[in-house]
Amino acid sequence: MVIEAARFRPNDPDPLVRASFACSLCLREPSAATVDHGPDGATVLCRCAGCETTWTVALDLEQELRLELRPPWRGMSTVLRHH
Ligand SMILES: [Zn+2]
């Protein structure tokens, strides 16, 4: 499985943060993002409903905190889950 490192900074606006999680095939927002918390950060398993594909994005601790404090998909259909 491909693991990409997220490239956003914690103080980036939501659209930039969301860009780190976009589907690499169709650029859609993931339909579901499941956060798996680890000791050095988190990995986010993303699923695209359009392509039926999944991918994983790795976050450092600051990025993980940003996702928790200010989820970038508010008001969107993306389902954010914590494992
Ligand atoms: Zn897609």
Quickly list DSSP for the chain. Answer: --EEEP---TTS-HHHHHHTTS-TTT-PPPSEEEEEEETTEEEEEEEETTTTEEEEEEE-HHHHHHHHHS-TTTTSSPEEEE-
**Which pair of tokens denotes residue 12?**
């980036």
Closest CA to 43 of 2, 79, 3: 3
Q: What is the C-alpha separation between 19 and 39, in angstroms, rounded?
A: 25
The reported pLDDT for the residue numbered 60 is: 97
Domains of the chain, by residue range, sit at 3-82
Å from CA of 38 to ligand 1 middle: 26
**pLDDT tens string 18-42:** 999 999 999 999 999 999 999 999 9
The structure's pTM equals 0.93
pLDDT digits (tens, 9 = 90+) for 71-83: 999 999 999 999 8
Ligand 1 centroid distance, CA of 42 (Å)? 22
Q: How far is the CA of 69 from the centre of ligand 1 (A)?
A: 26
Share of the chain above pLDDT 70, in %: 99
